Structure 1
Amino acid sequence: MTAALPEARGARVGDDRPHAAVWPPRVPRALRPPQTSLWFNLEVSARRYPDKPATVFFDRVMTYAELQHQAERVAAWLAARGVRKGDRVILLSQNCPQFIVAYYGIVRANAVVVPVNPMNKADELGHYITDPQARVAIAAADLAPALCAADAALPPEQRLRDLLVLHYHDAMPPDAFEGEAVPAAWRDWLRTRHPLPVLTHGRVADWAEAVGCPAPLPPHEVGPDDLAVLPYTSGTTGLPKGCMHPHRTLMHNAVAAAVWTNGTAENVGLLVVPMFHITGMVAGMHTSVYLGATAVVMPRWDRDLAGRLISRWKVTHWTNIPTMVIDLLASPHFERYDLSSLVFIGGGGAAMPAAVAQRLQDQFGLRYVEGYGLTETAAPSHHNPPDRPKPQCLGVPFIGCDARIVDPDTLQELPVGQAGEIVVSGPMVFDGYWQHPEATAAVFFERDGKRFFRTGDLGRMDEEGYFFITDRLKRMINASGYKVWPAEVEALMFRHPAIAEACVIGVPDAYRGETVKAVVVLRHEARGRVSEADIIAWCHEHMAAYKAPRIVEFVEALPKSGSGKVMWRLLQEAARGAASAA
């Protein structure tokens, strides 16, 4: 008796949708990902390619065998410190090999990764301890003091129990600081050996203790449906919410991204998109480990370092945000770099300017391939076919994804060309928001036997099934690919003693796409004593740099509706109109 294939495996999935005619012929419409945890991908690649470079960090290679061994030791350390199945563990670091080791170590220990943006300040970090009820954290040495400060401000019963501290330079070659390998602006940052910070009611350990831990490995007990990662995303109201992603959602898009880009074990990827972010995590780290490929890791963006690494390591695949490409092409040293090894270049977060895309095609024969996705969809829910991309377009629904345009009020599907809300259903969609059943219920609806997620983005679909974004239902600002949620910035700004009211909006920016502007009403006693520059400086001290307003405008009062709500859209349209006129 032959077992029937599940619907998700069917070769004809999506044949009734407009994009069927442009679907890449070599790519399946849907796939059946491995029914294992993410850890198994590393175990398989380490067995297949033990001596192959898994990561390169300033020319220091970590093999797959080394990556697996270190991850297992971190898992043993976590288990010895009391971490059990389902426990949430904070991971706070810039891109580095230890990030990957720690991530897979947490997964191997049957626990849940809570990736935190390293740009967050102490005022923001407390939420990432209390909301997931984390008791253990792994943090880079330059970021650990802020985490400890946030921890000290919490009630004793909510504080961390253990903190593991890593240094970036421990993963670098001994001669890394000779010559020009490390950008001058990074030398002190990467070279400094920070003393271990102090947890008020906890224990702090150095990375060497964990990777040398002699304790036994716990049994690996998690599978596809167990929670794997809890990345946080903000929204129109309230504090950031954790997106519950089990192993299966991440596994699907890790495998699908490999299939979509014709990936093999010979891939060499430039991993510069932050791994705390869902795109760097899934399309960068997980896809590379699944394939047994090599990831050339950059801790931050630097255009000339990127040019040197692409040339030196013959990078084949580069997922990025368009501002990175713009910056690299503008380097005065650009002619020194050899980009001929690249076979795939693409990304999202912002539209790629047509002139830049044309230069890539004319000079290198590369088509910039844009995609679209959210934290809730484990990175891509849409992607342009690599052989048939359309400029400034989200692409077609990704492998296994059913995407539609619906009326935001009635949720009825709209015809081709008409603007509405983008909704998606598929194996990459998250399970819901951590401990927020009402918010979860608000973003899902049932249609045709499927569970659709409401993205909050307005768009349209053309005759060939390609999707284009037109606006946002949510008040999200897209600054160089970073999502900034005005409600979160406003909540932080209200802590300033001089601010009576604040409304945060997005305004056009030639380089960032959008930038953050705050329209502020000062308290009476502060008027004439506090300047716009003072507010901007304060914001940079108390929130991540990408969130901090770069423009502050003082006004006597904010426009409000009859119900007393601030009319943010009116302010935003006025600011954009002024920018267009200028």
Structure 2
Amino acid sequence: MNLSSQLHATALQHANKHAYVFQDEAVTYLELDAAVSQFAGGLEKMGLKKGDHIAMLLENSPYFVVGLYGALRLGATVIPINPVYTADEITYILNNGDVKAVIALDVLTPLLQDIEPLLPSVDHFITCETPQQQEDTQYEKKSSFFGKMKPFTELLSSGEAIFEPPAVEEEETAVILYTSGTTGKPKGAMLTHKNLYRNAKDIADFLNIHEQDWVMAVLPMFHVFSLSVALNAPLMNGGTVIIMPRFSPAAVFETIRKHKATIFAGVPTMYNFLLRYPEGKQEDVQTLRLCISGGSSMPAALLKAFEQKFNVIISEGYGLSEASPVTCFNPLDQPRKPGSIGMNIVNVENKVVDEFGEEVPVGQVGELVVRGPNIMKGYYKMPEETARTIKKGWLYTGDLARMDEDGYFYIVDRKKDMIIVGGYNVYPREVEEVLYGHPSVVEAAVIGIPDMDFGEAVKCFVVVKDASLTEEELMAYCREHLAKYKVPSEIDFLDELPKNTTGKILRRALKQQLLEQ
């Protein structure tokens, strides 16, 4: 079984049930399954075949769902790419990923035309119509590029509703996710059909996602969190996906009310925006039975404030692209522990190890390693990097963690982000938690900076709602709650912190800004 065949099985069982809704358009499982087969047939008529690599530069939309599942039904490998990436970033991934066809928003046509001469392996550009595309686009249309173009809708209509998919082995690569990393070029994590299917199924079963659930997909689907938790998992068990093109607090509250959504998945920054939205009320979210948080650790102060205001529990989990992504989650039938990423999900094993790969005692900090059917088979064309990351079947996450006596895990910080002040370890998250506890702090990020005396020192960046708050006042607050070596030596006040497209705060961007100053 794989994602495509499971979708077909679900369509047979729930033919007339809504698979997704998008901007008031509702599509049944039968209709979605037929569209997926048609699109797979259209790709085949275009000359694409099993094993070919197809990139998708799309926002959340039916194009993404049909494009993903249609390519998988053909047996192709899908490479989702953030559509706001620069021309250089897109060019690198398309070439490194040996992409033969690109499915993209039509607003990206000028960019794709510019880089097309740099893409020797790309034979086809499939364009998806967007409302923002202007009829009279101001750019020179080059015949060499437009000869490779075809509208998504035209390709879809060229296929047949009945398509006989090729045999696909579970260890064949289904998706390659390019992870940005902290240094160097992006790495393509190869996820197999088994990886994606098993993780989606395990998530759906662990969270009891069922046919009565309406799941909000507001996180970008090109990101693995949304891909597996908000899209694939509901489609495994006959749930309905509410596709939202982008995040805004007003739209989220309106959508929950309108569709009586039962599950919301977001990152901490999203919950922060929802909490601070002045018109958000408890009755807006009364149909939610589950809020899921991932992507980065949620500050305890934010968790408490959100739950008090909206009377809904947030359950934190943990995952990474290389693990398809989920490895841990707070169980629904046992006590939820604030600050914890939860326990092993079914079929997945986590442990905390020292620098020699030996498991450390309960309560001690070490590197989190993971194994299970969800672990990638490696980085595309990077065997050395793969060997450094996967050792004896265990995926080394690069995250520092600890486990308590009940088997709950806690992320302490990124291994590379740890700050060493005079020989003492300082975990940025620990300092950030204290900062978030101050009533005026809205957002906080902590990094290490060089220090002549102690090797490194703690530097903080904060966004506050009280403009009169001074650096010394905030430092005094930190001194009340932190050991002396953990107290920041510098605090910068910013209007906003740099974030990626999922809303995760980017410490590395702050470090880069300092280097460039």
TM over 0.5: yes
Q: Cα distance, 1:275 vs. partner?
A: 0.8
Q: Could you tell me how far apart the structure 1 residues matched to 2:313 and 2:170 are?
A: 35
Q: Could you tell me how far apart the structure 1 residues matched to 2:80 and 2:104 are?
A: 10
Contact 1:96 1:168 in 2 (8 A): no
Task: State yes or no: 1:203 paired with 2:148.
Answer: yes
The amino acid of 1:91's aligned partner reads: M
1:294-339 Cα deviation digits (max 9, x unpaired): 1111111111001000000000011111221221222222139621
Quote the residue 2:255 is aligned against: 309
Q: Classify 1:99/1:162 alpha carbon distance in 2 versus 1 (closer, same or farther; 3 Å).
A: same
Task: State yes or no: 1:166 paired with 2:128.
Answer: yes
Contact 1:322 1:350 in 2 (8 A): yes
Q: Cα distance, 1:93 vs. partner?
A: 0.5
Q: Cα distance, 1:433 vs. partner?
A: 0.6
Contact 2:281 2:310 in 1 (8 A): no
Q: Could you tell me how far apart the structure 1 residues matched to 2:171 and 2:348 are?
A: 19
Quote the residue 2:367 is aligned against: 421
Quote the residue 2:345 is aligned against: 398
1:475-505 Cα deviation digits (max 9, x unpaired): 69999xxxx9x9xxxxxxxxxxxxxxxxxx9
Higher relative contact order (CA 8 A, sep 6+): 1
Q: Could you tell me how far apart the structure 2 residues matched to 1:358 and 1:546 are?
A: 20
Q: 1:370 aligns with which of 316, 319, 324?
A: 316
Q: Classify 1:336/1:388 alpha carbon distance in 2 versus 1 (closer, same or farther; 3 Å).
A: closer
Q: 1:117 aligns with which of 71, 82, 86?
A: 82
Q: Cα distance, 1:545 vs. partner?
A: 12
Task: State yes or no: 1:226 paired with 2:144.
Answer: no
Q: Classify 1:546/1:392 alpha carbon distance in 2 versus 1 (closer, same or farther; 3 Å).
A: closer
Quote the residue 1:380 is aligned against: 326
Q: Classify 1:256/1:555 alpha carbon distance in 2 versus 1 (closer, same or farther; 3 Å).
A: closer
Q: Cα distance, 1:397 vs. partner?
A: 1.9
1:530-556 Cα deviation digits (max 9, x unpaired): xxxxxxxxx99xxx9987947876779
Task: State yes or no: 1:49 paired with 2:11.
Answer: no
Quote the residue 1:243 is aligned against: 189
Task: State yes or no: 1:91 paired with 2:56.
Answer: yes
Q: Could you tell me how far apart the structure 1 residues matched to 2:362 and 2:177 are?
A: 34
Q: Could you tell me how far apart the structure 2 residues matched to 1:385 and 1:339 are?
A: 21
Contact 2:282 2:310 in 1 (8 A): no
SS of aligned partner of 1:465: coil
Contact 1:88 1:134 in 2 (8 A): yes
Q: 2:42 aligns with which of 68, 77, 81?
A: 77
For residues 549-568 of structure 1, the aligned pairs below 5 Å read 549=509
Quote the residue 1:458 is aligned against: 400
The amino acid of 2:38's aligned partner reads: R
Q: Classify 1:192/1:335 alpha carbon distance in 2 versus 1 (closer, same or farther; 3 Å).
A: farther
Q: Cα distance, 1:368 vs. partner?
A: 0.8
Task: State yes or no: 1:354 paired with 2:296.
Answer: no
Contact 1:425 1:452 in 2 (8 A): yes
SS of aligned partner of 1:459: strand
Task: State yes or no: 1:150 paired with 2:115.
Answer: yes
Q: 1:467 aligns with which of 381, 384, 409?
A: 409
Q: Could you tell me how far apart the structure 1 residues matched to 2:153 and 2:123 are?
A: 19
Contact 2:19 2:27 in 1 (8 A): yes
Task: State yes or no: 1:65 paired with 2:30.
Answer: yes
1:93-130 Cα deviation digits (max 9, x unpaired): 01111100100010011101101012201121001211
Quote the residue 1:212 is aligned against: 157
1:11-40 Cα deviation digits (max 9, x unpaired): xxxxxxxxxxxxxxxxxxxxxxxxx12101
SS of aligned partner of 1:212: helix
Q: Cα distance, 1:372 vs. partner?
A: 0.8
Q: Cα distance, 1:290 vs. partner?
A: 0.9
Paired-residue identity, %: 31
Contact 1:139 1:165 in 2 (8 A): yes
Q: Cα distance, 1:148 vs. partner?
A: 3.2
Q: Cα distance, 1:376 vs. partner?
A: 0.3
1:340-365 Cα deviation digits (max 9, x unpaired): 11001012122323343234444544
Q: Could you tell me how far apart the structure 2 residues matched to 1:199 and 1:412 are?
A: 60
Q: Classify 1:331/1:337 alpha carbon distance in 2 versus 1 (closer, same or farther; 3 Å).
A: farther
| Gapped regions of structure 1 (runs ≥ 5) | 1-35, 170-188, 487-504, 512-538, 558-582
Q: Could you tell me how far apart the structure 1 residues matched to 2:505 and 2:136 are?
A: 25
SS of aligned partner of 2:379: coil
Quote the residue 1:180 is aligned against: none
Q: 2:264 aligns with which of 318, 333, 336?
A: 318
SS of aligned partner of 1:474: helix
Q: Cα distance, 1:132 vs. partner?
A: 1.3
Q: Classify 1:430/1:301 alpha carbon distance in 2 versus 1 (closer, same or farther; 3 Å).
A: same
SS of aligned partner of 2:19: strand
Contact 2:102 2:122 in 1 (8 A): yes
SS of aligned partner of 2:27: strand
For residues 518-529 of structure 1, the aligned pairs below 5 Å read none
Q: Cα distance, 1:279 vs. partner?
A: 0.8
The amino acid of 1:82's aligned partner reads: G
Question: TM-score when scaled to structure 1?
Answer: 0.70
Q: Classify 1:295/1:553 alpha carbon distance in 2 versus 1 (closer, same or farther; 3 Å).
A: closer
Q: Classify 1:552/1:251 alpha carbon distance in 2 versus 1 (closer, same or farther; 3 Å).
A: closer
Aligned length: 441
Q: Classify 1:311/1:508 alpha carbon distance in 2 versus 1 (closer, same or farther; 3 Å).
A: same
Quote the residue 1:19 is aligned against: none
1:120-154 Cα deviation digits (max 9, x unpaired): 011210012111111101011123432333333x1
Task: State yes or no: 1:279 paired with 2:241.
Answer: no
| Gapped regions of structure 2 (runs ≥ 5) | 419-427, 433-444, 448-457, 465-497
Q: Classify 1:125/1:507 alpha carbon distance in 2 versus 1 (closer, same or farther; 3 Å).
A: farther
For residues 504-519 of structure 1, the aligned pairs below 5 Å read 508-510=461-463
The amino acid of 2:210's aligned partner reads: T
Contact 2:217 2:230 in 1 (8 A): yes
Task: State yes or no: 1:289 paired with 2:235.
Answer: yes
Q: 1:342 aligns with which of 288, 295, 299?
A: 288
Q: Could you tell me how far apart the structure 2 residues matched to 1:199 and 1:420 are?
A: 57
Q: Cα distance, 1:200 vs. partner?
A: 4.1
Quote the residue 1:518 is aligned against: none
Q: Classify 1:218/1:146 alpha carbon distance in 2 versus 1 (closer, same or farther; 3 Å).
A: farther
SS of aligned partner of 2:165: coil
Q: Classify 1:194/1:321 alpha carbon distance in 2 versus 1 (closer, same or farther; 3 Å).
A: farther
Q: Classify 1:356/1:456 alpha carbon distance in 2 versus 1 (closer, same or farther; 3 Å).
A: closer
The amino acid of 1:396's aligned partner reads: M
Q: Cα distance, 1:228 vs. partner?
A: 0.7
Contact 1:90 1:113 in 2 (8 A): yes
Q: Could you tell me how far apart the structure 1 residues matched to 2:90 and 2:106 are?
A: 15
